[in-house]
Amino acid sequence: MKIINLGSCNIDYVYSLDHIVKVGETEATDRLEIFPGGKGLNQSIAIARAGSSVFHAGCVGRDGGLLVDLLSESGADVSLLQTVEGQNGHAIIQVDTKGNNAIFLFAGSNAMVSKDYIEAVLSHFSEGDLLVLQNEISNVDYAIRRAHKRGLRIVFNPSPFRDAIKEIDFGMLSYLILNEVEAAAISGCESPEEAVHFFREHYPTLGVMLTLGEDGCVLIENGRELWQSAFCVDAVDTTAAGDTFTGYFVSELAKGSDPKTRLKIACAASALAVSRKGAAPSIPTRGEVLSVLSRLTPRDSHQKDTLLKRKIDEYLDGSLASATLSGLAKKLGYSSAYTGSLVKRLVGDSFSKYLQAKRLQLAANLLLNTDLSVEDVIRQVGYENQSFFRKRFQEKYGKSPLQFRNREVCQNEQ
Ligand code: ADP
């Protein structure tokens, strides 16, 4: 099984200035730094440093020699890379003394990836091989269609997001690897939990790898969700965090690692990347990742869940008699369907069963601690159907409400 990454190669020209140039102004600087970049290049470097063989394909300009050198020094195979006439894709970046920046991008060679070239590249690969793609080159949709026809497994990182991505048939993909911003743009959902629900519902067979920055990531695969916390590091530069993650995820996928291992290694590798400055230079090798893995501690991903669980309980305890799933959904700001699945995940029971358990518990407290009649207790905890309540109460406590009150009171008095 071979890995082919058809992606961008960029050059970042970073000019340091006292202030960012305004309309009509001319400013001089002698401070220029040149960095290799592009999501394609970063991801190929990450795949190679993660210990897998990768062909990097795409187009570079005559000025792109430093990119080709870096790719091959990092272990990527550049034999399919094409050098085209014209300028390499590049970014002109102005940075002022406060660290603010202004950037413009010139697609250059990255926009010269033609259909004929894609055909020529894909002819070297066959069924079961892995194609990795991002959204920084021309004809991405064509590459997906042709690769799918050849039986390649396709991993697509829809970054940077553009509306045209919505036209792509995700049914042709094996995996979508995306961050929160891209997930929100595709699903229209603001929270990651809702986005997960969206992808599970709309693309049940698609593998979805959603990265959540310092909150870690969640993988949806074969109908199951797997959440992984990010690791604690002193973050100094998050550039290439996502590219490092993608490269390691792809490499582990190709090695046949189980989902848990894939996520753990990809999170550890990207944690190391954010703890260092720069893009390509910050991508660690597999050896570095393995040597720190046992020392890394996960950030508390349960914090969010704990907070949500507390909100669910607050709502139910505050309005037990009138609580509804749609009322809770409104309070949390989610859809009812998603809230239902959230309750199930966090409390291990359906909304109605959890609500019922809470109502029965409150009824038991009222029976023991107040003089309210059984009928009033039943009304107070929100049951209109008295016999239904009595049946549920009997099931839970093995006694009728009245027997419960009398026995417990007698026992306490003895
Ligand atoms: P992108 O760079 O594409 O926006 P994310 O910001 O989601 O991607 O980051 C990708 C991965 O990098 C996360 O899933 C996480 O594992 C890791 N990561 C990002 N930021 C941090 C951080 N501050 N601390 C530790 N790990 C991080």
* Side chain identity at residue 92, one-letter code: I
In-domain check, residue 298: no
Active site residues: 243
Q: How far is the CA of 50 from the centre of ligand 1 (A)?
A: 17
pLDDT confidence band for 412 (50 / 70 / 90): low
| 201 and 320 housed in the same domain | no
The model's pLDDT over 225-271, given as tens digits with 9 standing for 90+, comes to 999 999 999 999 998 999 999 999 999 999 999 999 999 999 999 99
Pairing label, strands 153-156, 175-179: parallel
Q: Report the nearest atom of ligand 1 relative to the CA of 266.
A: 16
The model's pLDDT over 41-77, given as tens digits with 9 standing for 90+, comes to 999 999 999 999 999 999 999 999 999 999 999 999 9
In-domain check, residue 44: yes
Q: Which one, of 189, 184, 245, lies nearest residue 214 by Cα?
A: 245
Of the three residues 293, 328, 354, the one that is the final residue of a domain is 293
Q: What is the pTM of this model?
A: 0.78
How many distinct structural domains can be found in the chain? 2
| 235 and 286 housed in the same domain | yes
Which CATH number do you get for residue 373? Answer: 1.10.10.60
Can you tell me the mean pLDDT for 333-362? Answer: 92
| 149 and 31 housed in the same domain | yes
- Neighbour count for residue 144 (Cβ, 10 Å): 21
**How many Å is the Cα radius of gyration of the chain?**
28
| 110 and 238 housed in the same domain | yes
Of the three residues 243, 273, 293, the one that is the final residue of a domain is 293
> Residue written as tokens 């990450």?
46
| 16 and 88 housed in the same domain | yes
| 342 and 372 housed in the same domain | yes
pLDDT reported for residue 261? 97
Can you tell me the mean pLDDT for 353-375? Answer: 94
Q: Which two tokens stand for residue 284?
A: 């660690």
Domain that holds residue 285: 3-293
Q: Residue of the nearest CA to atom 6 in ligand 1?
A: 213
From 270, 282, 293, 299, give the residue whose CB has the most ligand 1 atoms within 8 Å, as the site to mutate: 270
Can you tell me the mean pLDDT for 176-202? Answer: 93
In-domain check, residue 172: yes
Q: Which two tokens stand for residue 129?
A: 């091989």
In-domain check, residue 334: yes
Instruction: Please state, for a pLDDT cut of 90, what percent of the chain lies above it.
Output: 86
The full 3-state SS of 278-316, as one line of letters, equals CCHHHCCCHHHHHHHHCCCCECCCHHHHHHHHHHHHHHH
Q: Residue of the nearest CA to atom 25 in ligand 1?
A: 271
Which CATH number do you get for residue 133? Answer: 3.40.1190.20
Q: Residue of the nearest CA to atom 2 in ligand 1?
A: 242
- Position 407 pLDDT exceeds 90: no
| 61 and 9 housed in the same domain | yes
| 333 and 278 housed in the same domain | no
Q: Residue of the nearest CA to atom 26 in ligand 1?
A: 271
From 214, 227, 282, 283, give the residue whose CB has the most ligand 1 atoms within 8 Å, as the site to mutate: 214
Q: Report the nearest atom of ligand 1 relative to the CA of 178.
A: 3
Dist. CA 308–CA 317, nearest whole Å:
14
How is residue 130 annotated by DSSP? Answer: E
Distance between first and last Cα of the chain? 76
Is residue 250 packed enough to be buried (19+ CB in 10 Å), middle (13-18) or exposed (0-12)?
A: buried
In-domain check, residue 37: yes
Determine phi and psi for 74, rounding to 5 degrees: -80, -5
Q: Tell me the sheet residues that pair with 14.
A: 33, 93
| 284 and 352 housed in the same domain | no
Q: How far is the CA of 13 from the centre of ligand 1 (A)?
A: 25
Of the three residues 274, 293, 312, the one that is the final residue of a domain is 293
Pocket of ligand 1 (CB under 6 A): 179, 211-214, 216-217, 230-231, 233, 235, 238, 241-242, 245, 267, 270-271, 274
Dist. CA 259–CA 28, nearest whole Å:
52
Q: Tell me the sheet residues that pair with 211.
A: 179, 217
Task: Find out whether 293 and 267 touch, Cβ atoms under 8 Å.
Answer: no
Pairing label, strands 32-37, 10-16: antiparallel
Q: Which two tokens stand for residue 86?
A: 């014209």
Q: How far is the CA of 282 from the centre of ligand 1 (A)?
A: 13
